[in-house]
Amino acid sequence: MASVVSSTKISFSICPSEPSLHFLSHSNFQSINFRTKIRLTVKCTATNQPSQQHSKKDPKKKDKNEEGDEKGVNPVGFLTRLGITHKQFAVFLRERHKAFKDLKEEIFKRQFMVKDIAYGFELLGLHRHPEHRMDFMDWAPGARYCSLVGDFNDWSPTENSAREGLLGHDDYGYWFVVLEDKLREGEEPDELYFQQYNYMEDYDKGDSGVDIEEIFQKANDDYWEPGEDEYMKNRFKVPAKLYEQLFGPNGPQTLEELEETPLEDGQTRYEKWKEQHKDDPPSNLPSMHVIDQGKEYDIFNVVSDPAWLEKIRSKEPPLPYWLEIRKGRKAWLKKYSPAVPHGSKYRVYFNTPSGPLERVPAWATYVQPDPDGKQAYAIHWEPPPECAYKWKYTSPKVSKSLRIYECHVGISGSEPKIASFSDFTEKVLPHIKEAGYNAIQLIGVVEHKDYYTVGYRVTNFFAVSSRYGTPDDFKRLVDEAHGLGLLVFLEIVHSYAAADEMVGLSLFDGSNDCYFQTGKRGHHKFWGTRMFKYGDQEVLQFLLSNLNWWVVEYQIDGFQFHSLSSMIYTHNGFASFTGDLEEYCNQYVDKDALQYLMFANELLHAIHPNIITIAEDATSYPGLCEPISQGGLGFDYYVNLSVSEMWLSLLQTVPGHEWSMSKIVSTLMGNKHYADKMLVYAENHNQSISGGQSFAEILFGEANKQSSGSEAVVLRGLAVLKDLMSLGENQKAISRGLPNVHHLDDTTMVIAYIRGPLLFVLNFHPTDSYPTYNVGVEEAGEYQIILNTDDEKYGGEGLIDAGKYLQRTVVRRVDGCRYCLQLQLPSRSGLDDEKLSAVILQFWPD
């Protein structure tokens, strides 16, 4: 069954075969699809032009939507642009492109619009319905019986169940449970069986006291002109008129008489009738005539007046009157008690071939563990509108140079306890803003059972972790971050899920292949987590809706997709890679997972144009940040995981004087073709969360990391950091383009590069300082030092005299440049710590 609410003036186009999706704002169009055997096909157009017959295609010409002939689409486009020739990978990309088109067409067969697959949360889960009831919907194809149990019905498995004959269960495995609000004692049922209540907007209003019959009469009076609704009141009048036109006033009254009536005389009778009634006064009845087409299979054709049809179609439906019959929240609370009150605990009950099961619903938005250590339960979160969180700010504009602070709410506090959303909002967000960052990336926010997993083994994908606070607490965190000008990114784990059966999705309906792959493929080789079945439409709807949910409900600005290698390959990325393209298209590649990533990026960017998507992939899959139309996966950025691992390796295992400048530069630059799409984290969370050591612990040692001296060093280091952030913001250092590394010396361990008008000079040598070091520049003039890490305020020795902060070029060819600067460069080692010796100069032309 499908219902569509739409004005006659609304237009939309549905083109499942096109590579790009064109969508209307979701607030302007609403559609509801409940999956049954019944299918409703709807076509709408904004034009007043008559429909035209499709012309026959020339079999010699290719359809414009066929692969290779789509406008602006080339499945191997990025290979061509980069000059890469690899037949096997090119064939793989073309086949993947075709499969992606076929997938969208398959989805279109079951969804009114393709993007509806990302709005499953509007139907699935537990929702309040305007007609004083609650609707619950979940997917469990392996179940035989479904009901909702909770403290609102004393955990009874029979009181609120899916009822046969009332769309309780469909062929796709969806279960639908209706929970009627309870009529309070002494109250009478509503006069209208479809009486609606506005629970949120009109929460302070009661019963308006309007008379229903009076409202309906007003609607009819406004909609119909006098006499125009005559055929609505007497539904046989129009057929009688047509019958009289066809057979005359004394036509046959029975089937036997009809068979004896000569049909060839019908046209003559019609002409006589028309002549007889030519002087009749105008009528408000539909203007219709019966015309003989002369065809055996359709002897008579009923033709209506186009002007009359247009007149009817142009009428605006009397929606204001329909809305006027709605009652407010006070009227609802006076007459009914909620079927599921706010804060109620509940689970879904299934009867399966393996026996009865109770599960936390897959689409639950708030989940808490049982205090006695028993099975967790969902909590219905529907605070009164006067208590619900009200958004104050909008998302800030996306910067061209992202400075991201990765954080975990639970460990963000200074006390030995799990910090809360409120703690983070009040104490950590101001610090992040003060430090100069413009975005935060939250890990471990989505509900997970075991805290030691840091949130990576997700159990409930639509719920914020209850150990940090409520959904409204998290909304406040995001809102306050936006108010400080910080974007909020969420690390999302769709590459695997927790294997927990009591609170997670594993064996959700008693079957092994509900959300996940079967057999060995359904389990991560090393982590024991479950692997999603990305080729299933229901799983696609779950994951795509989950992404959209975090944006719609919590106004998240972007996602980092965690551990793509776990989902892209059947070996979960635990294999040796040589860089040969064959390794990215062989039998170990999961094509369904790649199509999911393409679909996720295409839908997210179509629905939310300002969204940011970041790929975390240790294997550097080709085309991560290429447009989907050119054979890529559509991400905005990718994470260069090698950088943090390089720094960790250098600090832990390589003596300072053996560091390779060439390796540092090549690792930091990454893939030169995508350097502008690369994100770099100096320190990864595995060091401080997953048992590793942070840089502070490595540099200062376990014994000294809590000392006041070490704390002072950290604070001075943060002041380096803050000024660098300010430099990046004020001088647009990052957004000016790629750095031009023109000086690299492994012997002196000095690196210099130019970015716009800024010259960066870095000395990595642990002991050697250089009183006069020549660095080439192309522009003659004065260069002023605007940041020097040897300054005493950063904990340096202050070796560079303040009078030397203004440097003038010397005519000497160095580093292939016409001029050079002679700079004083202190060593990397300081008195009480190790630091990078860096000098940043700004060019001032003569």
* CA terminus-to-terminus distance, the chain: 75
The widest CA-to-CA distance across the chain, in whole angstroms, is: 119
Single out the residue of 145, 116, 154 nearest to residue 35, CA to CA.
116
What is the SS3 assignment for 320-378? Answer: HHHHHCCEEHHHHHHHEECCCCCCCEEEEEEEECCEEEEECCCCCCCEECCCCCCCCEE
Say if residue 391 is exposed, middle or buried (CB neighbours under 10 Å; 0-12, 13-18, 19+): exposed
Single out the residue of 137, 135, 111 nearest to residue 124, CA to CA.
137
Task: Report how far residue 828's alpha carbon sits from residue 577's, in angstroms, rounded to the nearest whole number.
Answer: 35
Query: In terms of DSSP bridges, do strands 197-198 and 327-328 run parallel, antiparallel, or are they unpaired?
Result: parallel
∠ CA 472-545-16, nearest 5°, is: 150
Is residue 362 a contact partner of residue 321, using CB atoms and an 8 Å limit?
no
Task: Report how far residue 275's alpha carbon sits from residue 418's, in angstroms, rounded to the nearest whole number.
Answer: 90
∠ CA 579-582-587, nearest 5°, is: 125
User: If you compute the radius of gyration of the chain from its CA atoms, what whole number of angstroms results?
Assistant: 35
Tokens linked to 271:
């002409």
The amino acid at residue 394 is: T
Q: Hunting for tokens 């006027």 — which residue is that?
A: 324
Tokens linked to 517:
């792959």
Say if residue 402 is exposed, middle or buried (CB neighbours under 10 Å; 0-12, 13-18, 19+): buried
Distances (CA, A) of 760 to 319, 756, 787, 823, 842: 65, 11, 10, 12, 9
Query: In terms of DSSP bridges, do strands 133-139 and 125-129 run parallel, antiparallel, or are they unpaired?
Result: antiparallel
41-55 burial, b if ≥16 CB within 10 A, otherwise e?
A: eeeeeeeeeeeeeee
Positive or negative: CA dihedral 441, 447, 448, 449: positive
Tokens linked to 123:
């139907």
Helices within 202-325 (DSSP H only): 212-223, 230-233, 237-247, 255-260, 266-276, 306-313, 319-324
Task: Report how far residue 164's alpha carbon sits from residue 161's, in angstroms, rounded to the nearest whole number.
Answer: 9
Task: Please identify every residue annotated as catalytic.
Answer: 616
Angle between helices 87-110 and 537-554 (to 10 degrees): 80
Looking at the chain, the number of H-run helices and the number of E-run strands are 21, 34
620: left (phi over 0), alpha (psi -120 to 50) or beta: left
Tokens linked to 835:
């630091």
∠ CA 228-209-202, nearest 5°, is: 100
For residue 641, give the H/E element and its range: helix 641-653
Single out the residue of 679, 666, 664, 563 nearest to residue 621, CA to CA.
563
Q: Identify any residues that bridge with 751 across adjacent strands, giving them in sequence order.
A: 744, 762
Single out the residue of 328, 480, 307 nearest to residue 391, CA to CA.
480
What is the SS3 assignment for 763-809? Answer: ECCCCCCEEEEEEEECCCEEEEEEEECCCHHHCCCCCCCHHHCEEEC
Is residue 723 a contact partner of residue 789, using CB atoms and an 8 Å limit?
no
Q: Hunting for tokens 């975090």 — which residue is that?
A: 550
